[in-house]
Structure 1
C-alpha cells in the first residue's frame, strides 16, 4: 500500500516537472528612455540555445531591419541614431521545435528633445570607418528662445573648432574641415539642428557638441573602428591571413572581439579588454592555411556586455591556378597555342593549295592564248609575204586541176615599151598553170 502511494507521488512529480519544462515562462519586461541620436542596444538571453533553435528580435510583431547578432546564447540588436520612429515595443522570441516563446519585452521611448533641465545628455557612439557608413548628430529642443546654434568638434582636448553655425531663420555656414552630408539641416527651424557625416573616416573620432549662445545643449563622443586584412584582396587558400581590428580611442572599458560567423551565429576566436590605461587599441588574429569556403568574420565592440558596433570582413579565398601562374598552367597555354598553330598551318596549307591550282589554271590558259595568238600572227605574216612576192596561187597539193592567173602591173615610167610575156610551166603532178603578165 505504501509502495503504491510512493509510486503515484513519483509519477505525479515527474508529470508536474515535465509541464514546467514545456510551459513558456513569463517574459522579462524592461523599459528604456533615450535622447534623440543615441545608439540603443537590446539584448536577450537564454540558458541554452540549440543548433536548430533561433532567437529573433521583432518590433510590434515585425522583424527589425537593424543589426542582429547571436553570440553566447544571446541575441543583440543595435538601433543606430534613434529617433521618434524607433519608439515602440520590442520582443525577443525563441523559436524551438516549432514553438515560439517570448523571452524579453522591451519598451523603448525616444525623447522629443536632447536636453532636460540642467542634466546634460552625453552620448557615446561607435561607427565603422567606411565609405558606406554615416552618422547623424541630432540636436532637438522644445525651447524657441535661442537665436543661434553651432556644432563643434574637439579632436583632442582644448582643440575645439566650429563645424557649422546657424542663426535663427538663416542658412547654415560651413566652417570646419568636416563637410556636412546631404541629410544635414540647411536651416534651423527652432526644433532640430542636425549634422550629418558621410562617409565616416577613421580620423573623425572625437567629441561633438551642440551649443547655443551660452549652453552646451548635447554632447556626442564618436569612436571609430577600422578593420583591415593582410594581404589585401583575394588570398590563396594555403596563405596565412592577418585580421586587425583597431579602435580610435577609449573613454570607457571596451572589449574587442573577433568572431567567426557560422550561419548567423558568432563563434569566439579572440578577444581583448581595453581600458584608458591600456594603450594597445587593437586586436589581431592570424589565420593560417584555411582550406574551407570563404569565411565571414566580424569585429564586435562590447561595453559592459552590451554590443555597441560590428565591423564585418569577408575573406575571399582563390585557387592557386587562378592567381599564380604555375607550370601546369603554362603547359596548358603552350598546348593551346600549338593547337592553334596547327589549325592555322592546316588552313594556310589549304589556302596555298587552292592558290597553286588557280595559278596553274591561269598559266595554262595564258599559254593557250599565247599559242593561238602566235598562230594567228604567223598566218597573217605569211599572207602578207605571199602578197608582196606576187604569188597569189593556191598550192598544187590542194587541187590538181588547171589554174589560171592574170596580173596587171603598172609601170613606173610612162612611155615605157609595152611588152607581152607568157610562159608555161608543167608540173610533175600533171597540173598545168598558165600565167600572163601584162606591163603597161
Structure 2
C-alpha cells in the first residue's frame, strides 16, 4: 500500500495512477474514507465511456476513455476530508491501494497577519498510520529553522501542532509545517506572511472573504439610502400636489354652512326684536272639573299696537281662588 501526504488547498492536487502491462477489460477507482464505507468514484469497461459515480469530481488529468493498460484518477483541489483509502480495481480484482493523508494549516485570528497582531499557527493531519512527526519551521531564505515539533501516534486525540507568534515575528518571516515519517520528509505545508511580497493561500482566502463581506455591506447600505431618499421625494411631491390642486367641492359645503349659520343668527335676532316691539298676546286658559288645563290657540285677531289682551281664567266652584295682589 502506498501512502501520500497532501496539503488541503485550492492549488494542491493528487494523481492516482493505475498502470499495468497486462490488459484488463474493466477498471474502476473506489474511495473508502472510513472502514466499511467504500464507494465507486469512476469506472470504465472495454468499448465504453468513463462513468463518474462518486462524490469526488475527477480532475482534468483523470482518464476519460478506456485504455487497456492505464486508468488514472486526478484529485484537484484536495479537500481536508478527502483522506482515506483509494483502490484501483480491475476485472481480476484489487490492483493497487493508495492511502491519502491530508494536512491543514490555519491562522487564528484569520486577519491577524493583516493587522500586525499576534497569531496562532496550527498544523493538523487527518490521520496517522504508525507515527508521524509534525514540525513548525521558520524559513529564512532557503534555510528552515526548527521552532517546534511533536510526535503524533494513533493514540493522540488531537493530531495537531500549534505555535504562537508575536506581532514582530510575523513579518517578514515565512512559516511552513513539515511532516516526517521515520525521519523522512513527506510533505510541506506553507504559510507566508501577507506583509511580504508573497502571499499564502490560507490568509488570501480569509482576506477575500473579509473584503467581499465589506463590499456587500456597503452596497446594501447605499441601496437602503437610495430607496429611502426616493420614497421621501415621492411623498413630498404628492403632498405638494394635494395642497395646490385640492378639490373645491370639498371646501364649498363648509363655506355654505358658515353663511347659513350667520343667516340663521340674523333671522333669530330679528324675530326676538319683533316680539319685544309687538304687544303681548296672552292665551286663554280654562281649567275644567277634572283639573285639566286647556290651552286655546293663539288669537289670530290683530290687535292695536298699544293694546294688551289678558287671559280669561275659569275655575270650578269647588276651587278656592287665591288673593291676587296688584
Q: Which residue of 2 aligns with 1:230?
A: 108
Which of 124, 134, 139 is the matching residue for 1:256? 134
Aligned pair partner of 1:185 in 42, 63, 67: 63
Pairwise mapping of residues 179-328 of structure 1 onto structure 2 (< 5 A)?
179-233=57-111, 234-237=113-116, 239-290=117-168, 293-317=171-195
Distance 1:291 1:152, change over 3 A: closer
Task: Tell me, in whole angstroms, the C-alpha distance in 2 between the residues paired with 1:216 and 1:286.
Answer: 46
Name the CA shift for 1:235/1:290 in 2 (closer, same or farther; >3 Å).
same
The correspondence of residues 285-434 of structure 1 with structure 2, limited to 5 A, is 285-290=163-168, 293-317=171-195
Q: Give the conservation status (yes or no) of the 8 Å contact 2:103–2:125.
A: yes
Q: 1:292 to 1:196 in 2, by over 3 A?
A: closer
Deviation at 1:317, TM superposition (A): 4.5
- Is 1:138 matched up with 2:46? no
TM-score (norm 1): 0.43
Q: State whether residues 181 and 195 of structure 1, in contact with CA within 8 Å, keep that contact through their aligned partners in structure 2.
A: yes
The structure whose RCO (Cα within 8 Å, separation 6+) is larger is: 2
Q: CA deviation at 1:236?
A: 3.4
Residue 246 and residue 292 in structure 1: after superposition, are their counterparts in 2 closer, same or farther (change >3 A)?
closer
C-alpha distance in structure 2 between counterparts of 1:161 and 1:316, whole Å: 40
Q: Tell me the secondary structure at the aligned position of residue 169 of structure 1.
A: coil
**Residue by residue, what CA displacement relative to the aligned partner does 1:203-224 show, whole Å, maximum 9, x if unpaired?**
1000000011241100000000
Deviation digits for residues 73-95 of structure 1 (CA, Å, limit 9, x no counterpart): xxxxxxxxxxxxxxxxxxxxxxx
Extract structure 1 runs of 4+ deviating beyond 4 A.
none
Match of 1:172 in 2: 50
Q: Say if 2:30 and 2:42, in contact at 8 Å, map to a contact too.
A: yes
Alignment partner, residue 2 of structure 2: 123
Query: 1:85-100 residue pairs with structure 2 within 5 A?
Result: none
CA displacement, residues 49-75 of structure 1 (integer Å, 9 cap, x when unaligned): xxxxxxxxxxxxxxxxxxxxxxxxxxx
**Alpha-carbon contact 2:171-2:193 (below 8 Å) kept:** no
Partner of 1:7: none
Contact 1:295 1:316 in 2 (8 A): no
- Residues 291 and 195 of structure 1: CA distance in aligned 2, closer, same or farther (over 3 Å): closer
Aligned to 2:257: none
Helix, strand or coil: the match of 1:235? coil
User: Shift of the alpha carbon at 1:294?
Assistant: 1.9
The CA deviation at 1:192 is: 0.6
**How big is each residue's C-alpha offset from its partner over 1:110-137, in whole Å with a ceiling of 9 and x where there is no partner?**
xxxxxxxxxxxx1000000000011110
**In 2, Cα distance between the equivalents of 1:247 and 1:292?**
23
Structure 1 SS opposite 2:81? helix
Render the CA deviation track for 1:363-396: whole Å, top value 9, x for unaligned: xxxxxxxxxxxxxxxxxxxxxxxxxxxxxxxxxx
- Give 1:188 deviation, angstroms: 2.3
- Aligned counterparts of 1:265 and 1:134: Cα–Cα separation in 2: 26
- Number of corresponding residues: 195
CA offsets, 1:238-283, max 9 Å, x none?
A: x211000010111121000000001101101111100112222000
Aligned to 1:43: none
- Alpha carbons 2:170, 2:193 under 8 Å: kept: no
Q: Where in structure 2 are the equivalents of 1:19-98 lying within 5 Å?
A: none
Which sections of structure 2, spanning at least 5 residues, go unmatched?
197-326
> Against the structure 1 CA distance between its residues 231 and 220, is the aligned structure 2 distance closer, same or farther, given a 3 Å change threshold?
same
- Is residue 2:43 matched to residue 1:155? no
Q: Which residue does the alignment assign to 2:253?
A: none
Higher percent of residues as strand: 1
Distance 2:110 2:127 in 1: 25
Distance in 2, Cα, partners of 1:266 & 1:135: 25
| Counterparts of 1:253 and 1:292, CA distance in 2 | 30
